[in-house]
Amino acid sequence: MNKKTSIFQHSLIYGLVTGGIIAIFQLVVYIFGMANNKNLGNVSFILLIIGLLMSVRHYRDHVNDGYLDFSKAFKAGFLTCLFAGLVGAVYSYFQFKYMSPQLIDELMSLTQDKLISKGIPESQIELQSAILEKIMTPLFLAFSYIFSMAFWGALLSLLAAVIMKKPENPLKADNLNNDL
């Protein structure tokens, strides 16, 4: 008897691989000194989308015999993003805690510059900066990474589920035999 891979196991593998690829990409970006480049952040997002779509498609075509309902497609995509987020959170924690703690200060500076460019009064900027200094820790950034990936994973998984669902043929011979 051929044992099927569960959605959890399948998504775990694809999520770890996707998260690993994103973490390696972010490490390369950091090594080349472009950690604060927003456009390169979009590349990480594209890598997430590719990993999610590959996961759902592979689950449909190779694990679930070419058929996939909406809920299973959503679960496969969401879990893939969640596991990728966990890998990314671990990388983020180590990056901000050990590899380059000064990146937090750079993020603070960029945030302050954005607030100044929007014309926000100096007193409000100082207040927001004081609050951010207290909460912008490596652990906070790692948790926010997980929540961000879960949020985007849910949205992207909804789209992927709509696009990649493929209902089972009701006239399939196995279904007819089960009904008799």
SS3 state of residue 166: strand
Q: For the chain, state the CA radius of gyration.
A: 21
> What local confidence, expressed as pLDDT, does residue 178 receive?
54
pLDDT digits (tens, 9 = 90+) for 54-71: 999 999 999 888 889 999
Dihedral angle computed from the Cα positions of residues 18, 137, 148 and 95, in that order, rounded to the nearest 10 degrees: -20
d(CA 35, CA 85): 18
Tokens standing for residue 156: 């992207």
Is pLDDT above 80 for 169? no
Q: Which residues pair with 133 in a beta bridge?
A: none
**Residue 14: how many CB atoms within 10 A of its CB?**
24
Q: Give the Å distances, CA to CA, from 61 to 12, 51, 68.
A: 17, 15, 8
pTM above 0.85, yes or no: no
pLDDT digits (tens, 9 = 90+) for 32-44: 888 777 788 889 9
Higher local confidence (pLDDT), 109 or 143: 143
Is pLDDT above 80 for 4? no
> What local confidence, expressed as pLDDT, does residue 39 receive?
81
